[in-house]
Amino acid sequence: MTRHAELQEILTSRDFSRSGHNWRALRDGEVPDDWPMMSNVLLRNMLTADGADHRRMRSLVSRAFTPRRVAGLRPRVEAIVADLLAGLDATGGRADLREAFAFPLPMRVLAELFGIAEEDRPRLVDLVRRGFGSSVMTPEEGAAFYQEIHEVLGTLIEERRAAPADDLASALIAARDGGDRLSDTELVDMLYLFLAAGFETTEGVLVNAVRALLAHPVHLEFLAHGAATWEGVVEEVLRWDTSLFALPFAYALRDVEVGGTALRAGDAVLLCYGAAGRDATWHGSTAERFDPTREQRGHLAFGWGPHHCMGAPLARMEAAIALRELFTAFPDLRLDADPAALEPVPSLMANTVERLPVAFTPRAERARRTREALGEG
Q: How many CB atoms lie within 10 A of CB 340?
A: 5
Q: Write out residues in the chain with pLDDT < 50, as ranges.
A: 134-135
Residue 95's pLDDT is 97
If residue 221 lies in a helix (H) or strand (E), which one and from where to where?
helix 218-224
Please state, in angstroms and rounded to a whole number, the distance separating the CA atoms of residues 351 and 336.
20
- Which residues pair with residue 359 across a beta bridge? 94, 334
Structural domains of the chain ordered from first start: 37-231+304-373 (1.10.630.10)
Residue 153 CA to chain centroid, in angstroms?
19
If residue 246 lies in a helix (H) or strand (E), which one and from where to where?
strand 246-252
Q: Which long-range contacts (CB under 8 A, 24 or more apart) does 294-298 make?
A: 294/236, 296/235, 296/236, 296/239
Dihedral of alpha carbons 89, 238, 318, 164, sign:
negative
Percentages helix, strand, coil for the chain, rounded to the nearest 5? 55, 10, 35
Residue 212 CA to chain centroid, in angstroms?
17
pLDDT digits (tens, 9 = 90+) for 245-299: 998 899 999 999 999 999 999 999 999 999 999 999 999 999 999 999 999 999 9
Please state, in angstroms and rounded to a whole number, the distance separating the CA atoms of residues 247 and 118.
32
Nearest CA-CA partner of 105 in 277, 310, 324, 301:
324
Q: How many CB atoms lie within 10 A of CB 286?
A: 10
Residue 154 CA to chain centroid, in angstroms?
23
If residue 142 lies in a helix (H) or strand (E), which one and from where to where?
helix 139-162
Residue 83 CA to chain centroid, in angstroms?
22
Nearest CA-CA partner of 274 in 239, 318, 236, 322:
239
For residue 249, say if its preceding peptide bond is cis, omega within 30 degrees of 0: yes
